[in-house]
Amino acid sequence: MCVFRRLFIFIIFGLSTISFTSAAETVELKPNDAVYVKMGKKVYVEQCASCHGVNLEGQDGWRNTKVDGMRLAPPHDKSGHTWHHADEVLFNLTKYGFKAMISEDYEVSMPVYDGIIKDHEIVAVLSYIKSTWPADITEIHDKINSDYKSNRAMKEKMGGS
């Protein structure tokens, strides 16, 4: 009986630990995972390169030209600002789109990828993008991620969202 009780407590504790972990889990890119990077490159070529450029160079004039009131696709390399955003922000922008993340009134040509590609493919394509960044940019981006995570943890502790 006692053994079963212990087993029961173990299971309950184990399950609560698991659910806690997944609730606190954030999206994490895998630029050092060769399988993800390879898959991501394929997704990039098929889904993103037409706008963001085969070499992640973006569209000519992206900084100050608008077409039909919409911005042009920025580069994903060092010269753009993709690396200014934490993993989770990049994931959400790609999956849910700019309207969901910024405002319904925001006009943008980029498709919403929810339902077009799977979550792990979004992680893969962003991991591929990150894998192309030089060491100094990767280092800054890692720091942006750790700041983002500690801000989130702090908000959760204080009961915010």
**Least CB distance to ligand HEC at residue 15 (A):** 35
Q: Which of 46, 136, 125 is nearest to 93 (CA)?
A: 125
Please give the structure tokens belonging to residue 152.
Answer: 């989130």
* Residue 40 sits in the site that holds ligand HEC (CB under 6 A): no
Phi–psi pair at 99, nearest 5 degrees: -60, -45
Shortest Cβ distance from residue 70 to ligand HEC (Å)? 6
Under rule CB under 6 A, residue 127 binds ligand HEC: no
Minimum separation from the CB atom of position 24 to ligand HEC (A): 24
- The DSSP element (H or E) to which 12 belongs, if any, is helix 2-24
Q: Is 74 in the site for ligand HEC (CB under 6 A)?
A: yes
Considering only 5-13, 19-27, 47-55, 151-159, which stretch makes contact with ligand HEC by CB under 6 A? 47-55
CA 101 – CA 53 distance, rounded (Å): 23
Considering the complex, state which of residue 72 and residue 149 has its C-beta at the smaller distance from ligand HEC.
Answer: 72
Q: Which stretch binds ligand HEC (CB under 6 A): 10-18, 92-100, 132-140, 147-155?
A: 92-100
Q: What is the largest CA-CA distance in the chain?
A: 73
Angle between helices 119-131 and 87-101 (to 10 degrees): 120
94 binds ligand HEC (CB under 6 A): yes
Please compute, for residue 115, the number of CA atoms within 13 A of its CA located in the half-sphere on the CB side: 4
**If you count them, how many residues does the chain have?**
161
Number of residues in contact with ligand HEC, rule: CB under 6 A?
23
Q: Which residues bind to ligand HEC, rule: CB under 6 A?
A: 47-48, 50-52, 71-74, 80-82, 85, 90, 93-94, 98, 108-111, 113, 125
